[in-house]
Amino acid sequence: MTSKMWGGRFSAGPSAIMAEINISLPFDRRMAAQDVRGSIAHAEMLAARGIISSADSKAIIDGLGKIERELAEGKFPFKNALEDIHMNVEDRLKELAGAAAGRLHTARSRNDQVATDFRLWTRDAIDKLDAELKKLQATLIDKAEQNAGTIMPGFTHLQVGQPVTFGHHMLAYVEMFGRDRSRLADARKRLNESPLGAGALGGTSFPIDRTMTATKLGFARPMANSMDAVADRDFALEYMAAASIIAVHMSRLAEELVIWFSPQFGFIKFSDAFTTGSSMMPQKRNPDAAELVRAKTGRVIGAMVGLLTVMKGLPMTYSKDMQEDKEAVFGVADTLELCLAATTGMIADLEPVSARMKESAHSGYSTATDLADWVTQKLGIPFREAHHITGRAVKLAETKGCELCQLSLADLQSVEPRITADILKVLSVDAAAASRTSYGGTAPDNVRAQTKAARERFLGETLKW
């Protein structure tokens, strides 16, 4: 049997393998709601412009309304034989609305139709993702507030650098996810133009109103070039690029959770809700959710690279290669949704082991910078020289097998005689953290103020960026 939609010049149907490679319904059925929305806008416009009668338009829109309900109730009769979602909806419309259905595709091609549906779907995905990121930020901000004064080591090269607060560390991620949200908002602006009315590639001779359909579908304006409208998928790529950065941010956080949860670090505890056991080693408690968030980043980046590779050799305008865009984007959206839920869950669930964090913050001569800063500020010695003096103090502590704050005043004076008893106040990890009051610094008072500011910037009605 030839295709009902495009089979006019064909005398035989496709081979089974042709049908199998061609069919997109199993995945593009996820755009069914968007396809119906697009068709309703198109039918309304066709009638408004006198291209079809209002009776036909009404029959079409009523039929599409029924299809909407069937979809919502899971009763829509999807048929693989009809290749894709667009032909499924149109075929069902014919059953429900009769002959009028045949007028819906006037001045439209599946090329502008699919571009429209897919933009609508991706826009919905961006909005959902933004809401999920906001939830994660809220959870991180809560943890930060509870731990504004919880001292932990701050690392560079995964070597202890300076004492910081756990709240400060949580807020670092709040900033990252905030930038991610603003990146999505940017991508959304560029995505939000309507391809509908571009036709197959060159526009149409019918007197359509592209601004009307654009407005009805919530787009800012119609796309300016009909060839570009059907040929490009940069909106999908941009979404996946933003998604990849989000996944990388989540993966880094997940990696930290794995490290912190290891018995060697012992910085955090998880409840049974976010850990698993080992089938062989009864003592084990593994942070599988964090490991999987870390791992699934590979899928997201892979999908983006996959579509970039599909697109890179395509001549203008539409090629069937582009049908491969959807699974990539759908997979990214599903993966991020799951990973964000798991990450938000883990952050809410985790409990910092503050005693262990603090003990660890003491190690590795973490207040060496404070000693050097004190020598510079109080003795007026240039920082480079102070750095050397401190280096000698660290060496002395090393030979004595103790931490900097455990050196006696006499020890410190043996390194630099001008040092006074005042120094003993700055070498504790609490004092070190509390002293970093510069804008954006780790002092507990700063962190308290920053959690408040973060709530205003990120958790209000609109993102303030």
Catalytic residue ranges = 157, 278
Task: Please state, in angstroms and rounded to a whole number, the distance separating the CA atoms of residues 384 and 34.
Answer: 64
| Helix, coil or strand: residue 153 | strand
Within positions 374 to 433, which residues make up the interface with ligand ARG, using CB under 6 A?
Answer: none
Residue 232 interacting with ligand ARG (CB under 6 A)? no
Given a contact cutoff of 8 angstroms between Cβ atoms, the answer to whether 101 and 90 are in contact is yes
* Residue in the structure block whose two tokens are 């003795």: 379
Neighbouring residues of 117: CB distance < 8 A, sequence distance ≥ 6: 28, 31, 34, 35, 38, 85, 86
Token couple for 183: 């990146």
- Residue placing its CB nearer to ligand ARG in the complex, 154 or 195: 195
Given a contact cutoff of 8 angstroms between Cβ atoms, the answer to whether 358 and 153 are in contact is no
| Helix, coil or strand: residue 210 | helix
Residue 88 interacting with ligand ARG (CB under 6 A)? no
- Residue placing its CB nearer to ligand ARG in the complex, 108 or 296: 108
From candidates 114, 214, 333, 426, binder to ligand ARG by CB under 6 A: 114
Within positions 314 to 373, which residues make up the interface with ligand ARG, using CB under 6 A?
Answer: 318, 320, 322-323
Nearest approach in angstroms of CB 117 to ligand ARG is 9
Nearest approach in angstroms of CB 198 to ligand ARG is 12
φ/ψ region of 98 (left if φ > 0, alpha if ψ in -120 to 50, else beta) reads: left
Task: Please state, in angstroms and rounded to a whole number, the distance separating the CA atoms of residues 334 and 380.
Answer: 58
Neighbours of 264 (CB within 10 A): 6
Counting DSSP H helices and E strands in the chain, the numbers are 18, 6
Nearest approach in angstroms of CB 22 to ligand ARG is 8
- Residue placing its CB nearer to ligand ARG in the complex, 39 or 390: 39
Residue 166 interacting with ligand ARG (CB under 6 A)? no
Segment near ligand ARG (CB under 6 A), from 110-118, 166-174, 204-212, 270-278?
110-118
Residue 229 interacting with ligand ARG (CB under 6 A)? no
Segment near ligand ARG (CB under 6 A), from 35-43, 55-63, 108-116, 367-375?
108-116
Segment near ligand ARG (CB under 6 A), from 51-59, 72-80, 107-115, 131-139?
107-115
Residue 150 interacting with ligand ARG (CB under 6 A)? no
Alpha carbons within 13 A on the beta-carbon side of 426: 19
Task: Please state, in angstroms and rounded to a whole number, the distance separating the CA atoms of residues 211 and 405.
Answer: 71
* Residue in the structure block whose two tokens are 């303030």: 464
Residue 451 interacting with ligand ARG (CB under 6 A)? no
From candidates 35, 44, 84, 90, binder to ligand ARG by CB under 6 A: 84
Task: Please state, in angstroms and rounded to a whole number, the distance separating the CA atoms of residues 15 and 410.
Answer: 91
**Pairing relationship of beta strands 151-156 and 159-165 according to DSSP bridges:** antiparallel
Segment near ligand ARG (CB under 6 A), from 106-114, 119-127, 168-176, 270-278?
106-114
Residue 39 interacting with ligand ARG (CB under 6 A)? no
Nearest approach in angstroms of CB 9 to ligand ARG is 14
From candidates 28, 145, 373, 416, binder to ligand ARG by CB under 6 A: 28
From candidates 37, 42, 108, 110, binder to ligand ARG by CB under 6 A: 110
Given a contact cutoff of 8 angstroms between Cβ atoms, the answer to whether 426 and 374 are in contact is yes
Nearest approach in angstroms of CB 84 to ligand ARG is 4
Q: From residue 171, how far is each of 121, 174, 363, 441, 452 by CA, in Å?
A: 32, 5, 24, 11, 11
> Residue 126 corresponds to which amino acid?
I
How many residues belong to the site for ligand ARG (CB under 6 A)? 10
- Residue placing its CB nearer to ligand ARG in the complex, 110 or 436: 110
- Residue placing its CB nearer to ligand ARG in the complex, 142 or 228: 228
Residue 116 interacting with ligand ARG (CB under 6 A)? no
Residue 76 interacting with ligand ARG (CB under 6 A)? no
* Sign for the pseudo-dihedral over CA of 396, 398, 401, 405: positive
Binding site for ligand ARG (CB under 6 A): 24, 28, 84, 110-111, 114, 318, 320, 322-323
